[in-house]
Amino acid sequence: MSSEITIPPIADFHVHVRDGDMMRLVVPTIRQGGVSVAYIMPNLVPPLTTVDDVLNYKERLKDVDPEVNYLMTLYLSPAITPPVIRAAKKAGITGVKCYPHGVTTNSDHGVQSYEPFYPTFAAMEEEDMVLNLHGECPSRDPDIHLLNAEESFLPTLFDIHKRFPKLRIVLEHCTSKAAVEAVLKCGDSVAATITAHHLYLTLDNWAGNSHNFCKPVAKLPSDRQALIEAATSGNKKFFFGSDSAPHPLSAKEKGRNAAAGVYTQSHALAYLAEIFEKAGKLEKLEDFASKFGRTFYRIPEDRSGWLVTLKKEQSVVPMTIGEGVTTVVPFLAGETLHWKIYNNFA
Ligand code: DOR
Ligand code: ZN
């Protein structure tokens, strides 16, 4: 088996980098993780609901690292009307992220009902913008819980897809066998991202360990197996979106009130290589981590000359990155990875 792989930098189609000090800490780790294209989430406080908010945020990101290709999104809210969609398209914004109300970090302004947004979805379909769905039903319905929240959302995915068949939709961070099967049933305009951490975790890993707690939660071993099979299958509907979601240590160590989110950015490609190797599918890594997402989003391959080399070397994930109020615990802190990322950029 090969002990060294060199590929152009990969693309991460689901990234949280926050703002302020946290942004300055984590943005430089995008390239460290082997990533040159980062699809940036809009769930800041307050959320990014105007074209200007998004463009200003992009400038702040470029001030930290101008070499990353930041693809930007708006936060779906009543402010996102069809004229805003047309202005967003002109301004180069790629997509709109939909958070159901109350399902995760900073989703208090999220969607309570989809119907009022049909004109917005129609405008997005016309303008060829991407709709990114956080696919969970909120648990205000007494029959919804952490383990069935994603599966319960799938009829909504089918419904939006049926009404807007040409609208490109990404079911973000899918975590269940049911979600994988649903995406396979939809037409080519529907794809899904899969995170690195959901390829490792099941519910036993987050029950009692808030550092592995994220939304949607990791589910059963059979669900994880379905995700590994989808990611390594060579099916272009499944591509990488890390959902790397840094929270300060103080917010993660709050017992039952711990913030949802796992930070994986700095070692993104190394985590993936580990899983793909274990599955005997290293040859499919570049398709999943780079090519399929770029094809769906129509982003050309990176020809800048920057190359990423993965070497079969042991390295220990640091216990923390950052300091003080922005101390962040990376995924698998203190554990040994068997692949190490080397970048040739200056
Ligand atoms: O675990 C999560 N954290 N899931 C999300 O959907 C949001 C993210 C965050 O922003 O922290
Ligand atoms: Zn996210």
What average pLDDT does the segment 301-315 reach? 93
196 lines ligand 1 (CB under 6 A): no
> Of the residues 17, 105, 201, 265, which should be mutated to test ligand 1's pocket, given the most ligand atoms within 8 Å of the CB?
105
For ligand 1, the distance from its centroid to the CA atom of residue 247, given in whole angstroms, is 9
For ligand 2, the distance from its centroid to the CA atom of residue 223, given in whole angstroms, is 19
- Which residue, judged by its Cα, is nearest atom 7 of ligand 1? 105
134 lines ligand 1 (CB under 6 A): yes
Output the CA torsion sign for 291, 5, 321, 211.
positive
> Residue 206: enclosing H or E segment and its boundaries?
helix 203-206
Position 183: which residue type? V
What average pLDDT does the segment 234-247 reach? 98
The answer to whether 105 and 259 have CB atoms below 8 angstroms apart is yes
**What is d(CA 193, CA 306) in angstroms, rounded to the nearest whole number?**
24
What average pLDDT does the segment 230-245 reach? 98
- Model confidence at 345, pLDDT cuts 50, 70, 90, reads confident
Please determine, for residue 346, whether its predicted confidence score (pLDDT) is greater than 60: no
Matching residue, tokens 């693309």: 11
260 lines ligand 1 (CB under 6 A): yes
Complete domains list, the chain, with CATH: 10-304 (3.20.20.140)
Which residues are bridge partners to 328 per DSSP?
A: 321
**What is d(CA 54, CA 51) in angstroms, rounded to the nearest whole number?**
5
* Listed residue (177, 179, 285) closest to 169, CA to CA: 179
The answer to whether 299 and 283 have CB atoms below 8 angstroms apart is no
Strand order of the β-sheet with 130-134 is 10-15, 35-40, 69-75, 95-98, 130-134, 168-172, 190-194, 238-240
- Which residue, judged by its Cα, is nearest atom 4 of ligand 1? 215
Catalytic residue among 12, 53, 109, 134: 134
Q: Do you know the residue count of the chain?
A: 346
Output the CA torsion sign for 222, 236, 28, 110.
negative
Please determine, for residue 8, whether its predicted confidence score (pLDDT) is greater than 90: yes
What average pLDDT does the segment 331-339 reach? 98
What average pLDDT does the segment 251-277 reach? 96
Active site residue 134: yes
Enumerate residues with CB within 5 Å of ligand 2 (an ion): 243
Report percent pLDDT > 70 for the chain.
Answer: 99
Average pLDDT, the chain: 96
**What is d(CA 320, CA 21) in angstroms, rounded to the nearest whole number?**
15
pLDDT at 1: 60
Reported as a single tens digit per residue, the pLDDT across 14-66 is 999 999 999 999 999 999 999 999 999 999 999 999 999 999 999 999 999 99
